[in-house]
Structure 1
Amino acid sequence: MPRVTAIQTNFTAGELSPRMLGRVDIARYQNGAERVENAWPLIHGGAIRRDGTLYVGPTKYSGMDVRLIPYIFNRNQAYMCEFGEYYVRIYFSSGLYTGVELQSPYTSAMLATTDYVQGADTMFLFNQAMPIYRLRRNSDFEWTLAPAPFVTQPFDEKGIFVNSAMNINDRTVGGGRIVTATAAVFMASDVGREIWSGGGVAKITAFTSANVVTVDVLTEFSLNNVTLWALKGSPQTINTPSVKDPVGASTTLTLTVAGWRPEDVGKFVKINGGLVEITSYSSSTVVNGVIRSALTAVVASPANAWSLESSVWNLLDGYPGTGTLHEQRLVVAGSPSYPQNIWESRTGEYLNFELGTKDDDAMSFTVSSDQINPIIHLAQIKALIALTYGGEFSLTGGVEKPITPTNIQVKNQSVYGCNNVKPVRIGNELYFMQRANRKLRALAYKFDSDAYGAPDMSVLSEHITETGIKDMAYQQEPESILYLVRADGVLATLTIDRDQDVVGWARQTTAGKYQAVASIPNATGEEVWAVVRRTVAGKPAQYLERFVSGVQVDCGIVASNPNGAADWGGLDHLEGMTVDVVADGVVMQQQKVLKGVISLPRPAFNVQIGLNYVTTIKTLTPEIGTATGSAQGNSMRIGEVTLRFLKTIGCKINGQTVAFRNLGVNVLDKPPPLFTGDHRMENLGWDRGQAQLLIVQDQPLPFHLLCVIKKITVND
């Protein structure tokens, strides 16, 4: 019966998967636990009770999804934005509501696929169903949310999309076919343009009327009657400008035959080496415009030497779904009709997407691969990164050179793919959820291979993310923790420090379900906010809450009264709930909230009042070498256990309460002192094949476990 003293010095591997319970041969087994709940593994090795949350306020609608988006101008001017069904509310970092509510174009269903990026006091918001919006702060109480006023958007020779019936008398390949449209869509300058519908293509050879043209069918149409079709190309006639320069000057564009349409206002004309934006329609042969890029001459330009182009961001083609800021450019991508296109603005001009070939001109390029890979997210680490459904791409301009219109290198670094959850950058790594929404990967550049790798950070704790992740946020200080909202409302956390080889998962639960998270800076680091759905007095409620250091309750309040008080209000949000109370550092008997008030048996000066949560750590059965081999499967007895604590008050070990102070008349109704040191317990008993400890802190008091020392007897 060998007797061994085994020490677990740290919990840096966090909660391990049930699939790992047989891997006693690896180091992370020795540094992990079977269960870590409502606690955070720390980089230093121990595990600490997680922060509680303070109540901020209810969301506008209790039953609808909400997205939290941080707006950070600097450390002293940081705000939390509550995006909901067609609204945005702005909160100070202290948790106070600014009173600002803006009208928003986004429904609650659109929020999960809405991306954002912020530069200085301007935030750009992206959604494939909406133009790019801009959120700006003029003062604490004056904000605007409106479509971004682009100087020039990316444009292309798109032609005209027609949503009305069209009949072709003979849909097979051949000439002399007659096309009849129910709407008056044709003009004399359309002769030479092509009609596209599905796979069918026909070239217009003669103009009869606004409803009838003659065509040559180049590719057979699938139907004789179609309702959605396009007139491709530009008007086929001579175009003459009246003025060639300077930029900003007005000019008139005159066609030889009818070709302009009222809907051409807002489109662009490339002519004589310059660019004109059409500002008004005069007639089918004359429009007026503003010179955006100077022309070389005012000579007449023949058909196909000029083009009529329109923005590629529109209701029909959709809008960019993601964006970032890179090398002083606004970079956007991922529209429905151009899923692999990336557009970059002019250098230093976020609102100018006028394409060109100069190094500082705006540009457009395609992330090509051997399959369709819609771009889901844009981000940056060492390079600009495009995360797609099918893989991860790096975009560079060459060795230590910026990206320019003539110098773009696109490389496919891995083929894991991502989902809609916004990636988070931690150090030099980009953390993203793989497309199946189960694995968390960390994309980073590797010098030894001169390539990017994306290892699975959840491989040893795969059960933590098995229900899927729907939101993420990172807190850098005071602890390096990544928060991940699971689809079932549990909050998973990952304590991460790659330099110290710390990858520690844990689960955070509450009397409700977490819906969203975000973090903003405060005086001591970053503060994490959460949206939580709860049931209060039998009715559903959805609250904004923030994790605050030193708070030991959930959805709580912290209050003080210099004269002392027994009755404490401000608890309407917890009406009918049983709450924990810490009065002047002493845990009081739980109270029920009635009419928003609780009554204590004695006056108190400072209180914390809120919902209870329980911290639980369940250790693994250690591997102990014996003379006959492994101790696994043998009868084991923990004769003595020593827990090393730091600034802790109270806990239970296998159901036995740990006494941290002696009772007496001099200590009643006084806060117990924080305990730092070793605490020993004996005679914990035999168990076949196990030597585990269940360590619980169920009181709203500090708890910080540094290490566990067990004296174990193994009976072969």
Structure 2
Amino acid sequence: MQDPNTTTTTLTANARTGSSVTISASADTFVATDVGRLIKLHDGYAKINSDGYTNATTVVATVQDNESGVAELAPSYASNTIAFHEGDPSSTGLEHNDRITDSAAAFIDQGFKVNQKVTISGASNGGNNKSTAVLIVQVTADTILFAPSVDLVNETASATITINGALTADSNFSLGAFSATTGYPGATAFFEQRLVFANTSTQPQTIFFSVGGDFENFTAGTDSDDALIYTIGSNQVNVIRYLSSGRSLIVGTSGGEFAVTASGSSEPLTPTNAQIKRQASYGSADIQPVSVGNVTLFVQRARRKLRELVYDYNSDSYLAPDLTLLAEHITESGIKEISYMQEPDNIVWCVLNNGKLVGMTYRREEQVVAWHEHIIGGVSGAATITVSDYSNIATNTTLKITKSNGETITFTCQGAGAGTPDTNKFFHNESNNTTADNIYTAINAHDDFTVANPAAAVVTVEETQRAGNGFITIVSSDTTRLAITDQSHALVESISTIPGSLNEDSLYMVVQRTINGSTKRYVEYLNSFNFGDNILDAYFVDSGLSYDGSAATSLSGLTHLEGEPVTVVANGATHPRKTVSSAAISLDRSTTSAFVGLGYTSTLQTMRLDVGGEEGTSQGKIKRIHDVTLRLFRSIGSKIGSSETLIDLIPFRSSADEMDEALDLFTGDKEVEFRGGYDNDGFIVVLQDDSMPITVLAIYPRLQTFDQ
């Protein structure tokens, strides 16, 4: 609940229980968005009905269970075990307190409390008792003591006396903290057997702790297990972004990181010993962190950095080093979501704003922090060219279209002529739409591309047959008059790690792709990391299906990849790409085991080599790599070179291998000649685009470095 009312406004209920209780305010109190909001009035709670808003001073509500589990705003008790007692039996006229007693000792169980006002009715031998509200100043199980001004009339012997909590106008009320008006909690956690909420629209710095062991009860008090409400005090509004339970309750805010603890290190958190202290001032993004051991990993406010909040015994505080320090380019587009996979490898997975999936292998006890990027198979969106201001498109303006296999074709503006332009050229003339038609004609004439008729001067380019695992990109030399959009890789939108079989966690992803011209979203998961040493178990396609059965020359059930060129691994060997038609593909050879899905390319590029220099560093010096030894583990099929375009296939099959059987996975050293020239960098690129496994343990180059 919010803090109690401090104004003179009062609330009055017309009934103590029921589903249609009218609550009236003495001044404007309610708004239309208060439907569903709680009201604490007298000794109970009422929830405003979905149609209960009448006006700013009147609502209709349903009475809820109170702390005693009774749905009433005020207690009511009728019994013939009640007796009245005169506080001044000798009638001295001195100030005194009348009282009532109950031989059944039920007053506390019935909900009567100090400072309640009650009315008393029932048969008496001298009057009507107290139909006006009287104040309770002390209560025990069998005795209620009233204020000195109260004068009771003795009850008739054995008569039934009724005591009702008075429904008087009361300024001591509270409104619910969680509602459409105030906002709902933006952060939650469990901590020391308490459910914890934080960050509503109107209380962004406030933390709400439930009663210990009673997650639905948020009744605040001073007892050790009572609920507590804590508002962070700071020099600025620090909106709470997340809560993370560990050694203490970590509170990430927009302006810093705080820790909630008890005042004593061995004490449980209570309303009287809670303390919250700032630990860092980096500020947190609105992204749920992950806990790894005794460490909390959180995303900094700008979403570019992943920080490690770890307790430091030397300073008796938390430190938050930057884990992206050596790989800032990886998270340049911003982190959108994170999830932690513990088995079989410790990896923090991140979804970026550009739809990429990146991982951070994290073994802090061994000082291992290694980032890696994963491009999911398939494409999203369309490659387009939008024509404007056609008459000012200069002659020799170019459109360079790069296909999915990395090959680039250039189309050039031949000027403002008419008729038939040269091959791979177009005219700009008449209008934006006509120029778009000319571009369409030029590109569509190329065998590698299929282009739809332009609409609104927009040309959409598709590959006739996707040639690689990439996607179409276009570079325009005049981005003002020939504006472009690129296709992109498949976009990962959300992730979650779920414990899987074989003692491995599974990373589930929501992936967006363009399939057969339509936007589709699929839930997919990463397959087993530990596939063993059998090539038939090595699953390395995306959004794929597997087949295991009798010999087949066609595979069906591929509705989700309709119209897409798919990668096929048949009986542990590569197979030509096929395009899905009517949810099926035809194979060039029969197979009893297959994986069919979207291919992707895995690329390793070393840093610039710094070896071989006789006069100090070899950085910036000309060098030439002659050959390379690759140390591999359970690998097959890969390429090596100095760049992704200057690259050679590494042979794995020898004359001793059966030509109609799949190769065994290779573990050991592969010595290969290196096709590279003389350069200053000395990059080594290892590439795998055959949907086969590859694990590179080490690279041993042999090279010559020229000091002069």
Instruction: With the length of structure 2 as denominator, give the TM-score of the two structures.
Output: 0.61
Offset at 1:158?
7.0
Give the Cα separation in 1 of the matches to 2:518 and 2:167.
71
Structure 1 residues 158, 509: closer, same or farther in 2, change over 3 A?
Answer: farther
Q: Deviations over 1:340-365 (max 9, x none)?
A: 11111111110011111111111111
Structure 2 counterpart of 1:308, which letter? F
CA distance in 1 between partners of 2:585 and 2:663 (Å)? 23
Paired residues of 1:416 and 1:435 also in contact (CA < 8 A): yes
Q: Give the corresponding residue for 1:659.
A: 651
Distance 1:295 1:619 in 2: 84
The 8 Å contact of residues 330 and 344 in structure 1, kept in 2 or not, is answered as yes
By how many angstroms is 1:621 displaced? 1.6
Residues in 2 aligned to 1:428 and 1:436: alpha-carbon distance in whole angstroms: 24
1:275-317 Cα offsets, whole Å, 9 max, x none, are 99xxxxxxxx99xxxxxx9999584799999712222222221
Name 2:207's counterpart in structure 1: 342
Deviation by residue 1:134-178 (Cα, 9 ceiling, x = unmatched): xxxxxxxxxxxxxxxxxxx5663377999xxxxxxxxxxxxxxxx
Q: 1:618 aligns with which of 599, 605, 622?
A: 605
2:239 is aligned with 1:374: yes
Distance 1:247 1:295 in 2: 21
Name the CA distance, whole Å, in 2 between partners of 1:608 and 1:324: 42
Residue 493 of structure 2 corresponds to: 515
- SS of structure 1 residue aligned to 2:371: strand
- Structure 2 residue matching 1:573: 3-state secondary structure: helix
Once the 2 structures are TM-superposed, how far is the Cα of residue 322 of structure 1 from its aligned partner?
Answer: 0.9
Within 1, Cα distance between the matches of 2:343 and 2:672? 35
Q: Which residue of 2 aligns with 1:542?
A: 521
Deviations 1:575-609 (A, max 9, x none): 11111111121111111111000111222111100
Deviations 1:447-491 (A, max 9, x none): 111100111111111111111111111111111111111111111
Equivalent in 538, 545, 556 of residue 557 of structure 1: 545
Does structure 2 retain, via aligned residues, the 8 Å contact 1:273–1:295? no
The code of the aligned residue for 1:442 comes to E
Paired letter, 2:340: Y
Q: Deviations over 1:349-398 (max 9, x none)?
A: 10011111111111111111121111111112221111111000000002
Deviations for 1:47-85, whole angstroms, at most 9, x for unmatched residues? xxxxxxxxxxxxxxxxxxxxxxxxxxxxxxxxxxxxxxx
* 2:609–2:682 CA contact under 8 A, matched in 1: yes
1:373 is paired with a residue of what secondary structure?
coil
Q: Matches of 1:340 and 1:706 in 2, distance apart?
A: 49
Amino acid in the other structure paired with 2:637: G
Q: Counterpart of 1:438 in structure 2: which amino acid?
A: R
Which residue number in structure 1 is paired with residue 294 of structure 2? 428
CA shift for structure 1 position 640: 2.0
- Report if aligned partners of 1:388, 1:418 keep a CA contact under 8 Å in 2: yes
The CA distance in 1 between the partners of 2:544 and 2:585, in whole Å, is: 13
In the TM superposition, what are the counterparts of 1:77-96 in structure 2 within 5 Å?
none
Per-residue Cα deviation, 1:495-542 (whole angstroms, up to 9, x for no partner): 111111111111111221111110100122200011111111111111
Q: Give the distance between the partners of 1:694 and 1:306, measured in 2 at CA.
A: 75
Find out whether 1:358 has 2:233 as its counterpart: no
Deviations 1:394-414 (A, max 9, x none): 000022211100001111000
Structure 1 residues 158 and 480: alpha-carbon distance in aligned structure 2, compared to 1, 3 A threshold: farther
- CA deviation after TM superposition for structure 1 residue 273, in Å: 5.5
Query: Residue 5 of structure 2 contacts residue 171 of structure 2 at CA under 8 Å; is this kept in 1?
Result: no
In the alignment, is the contact (CA less than 8 A) between 1:472 and 1:482 conserved in 2? yes
Change (3 A) 1:544 1:274: farther
Q: Is the 8 A contact 2:9 2:25 kept in 1?
A: no
Structure with the larger strand share: 1
CA distance in 2: counterparts of 1:623 and 1:296, whole angstroms: 90
Confirm whether residue 272 of structure 1 aligns to residue 272 of structure 2: no
1:605 corresponds to: 592
Partner of 2:187: 322
Gap runs ≥5 in structure 1: 1-152, 163-183, 196-228, 232-243, 255-268, 277-284, 287-292
Residues 683, 607 of structure 1: alpha-carbon distance in 2 compared, 3 angstrom cutoff? closer
Give, in whole Å, the separation in 2 of the partners of 1:509 and 1:161: 61
Which one-letter code corresponds to 1:689 in the other structure?
N
Q: CA separation in 1, counterparts of 2:208 and 2:674?
A: 69
- Cα separation, 2, equivalents of 1:712 and 1:296: 98
Contact 2:212 2:226 in 1 (8 A): yes
Q: For residues 296 and 339 of structure 1, do their structure 2 counterparts lie closer, same or farther at Cα, with a shift above 3 Å needed?
A: farther
Query: Are the counterparts in 1 of residues 4 and 172 from structure 2 also a CA contact under 8 Å?
Result: no
The 8 Å contact of residues 254 and 285 in structure 2, kept in 1 or not, is answered as yes
Amino acid at match of 1:518: S
The one-letter amino acid of 1:513's match is L
Q: Secondary structure at the match of 2:182?
A: coil
Kept in 2, the 8 Å contact 1:329–1:345? The answer is yes
Bigger RCO (CA 8 Å, 6+ sep): 1
* Structure 2: distance between partners of 1:401 and 1:605: 64
Q: Is the 8 A contact 1:469 1:484 kept in 2?
A: yes
Give 2:422's aligned residue. Answer: none
In structure 2, stretches of 5+ residues that fail to align are 11-22, 31-54, 58-65, 77-110, 119-131, 134-139, 148-165, 379-489, 529-537, 642-646
Residue 687 of structure 1: which of 678, 686, 708 is its match? 678
Using the size of structure 1 for normalisation, the TM-score is 0.60
1:155/1:389 CA distance change after superposition, 3 Å: same
Matches within 5 A, 1:253-292: 272=114
Check conservation: 1:652, 1:696, Cα contact below 8 A: yes
Could you tell me how far 1:625 is from its partner in structure 2?
6.2
Q: Report the aligned-residue RMSD.
A: 3.4
- Larger gyration radius, structure 1 or structure 2: 2
2-structure distance, mates of 1:326, 1:245? 22
- C-alpha distance in 2 between matches for 1:435 and 1:245: 40
Aligned to 1:633: 620
- Cα distance in 2 for partners of 1:596, 1:495 equals 38
Q: CA deviation at 1:324?
A: 0.4
Q: 1:684: how far off? A: 3.5
1:419 aligns with 2:255: no
What is aligned with 2:174? 309
Displacement of 1:492: 1.3
**In the TM superposition, what is the alpha-carbon distance from 1:682 to its structure 2 partner?**
2.6
Aligned to 1:489: 355
Residue-pair matches, total: 465
**Are 1:396 and 2:261 counterparts?**
yes
- Report the counterpart of residue 5 of structure 2 in structure 1: 157
CA contact (8 A) 1:429 1:443 kept: yes
Matched AA of 1:476:
Q
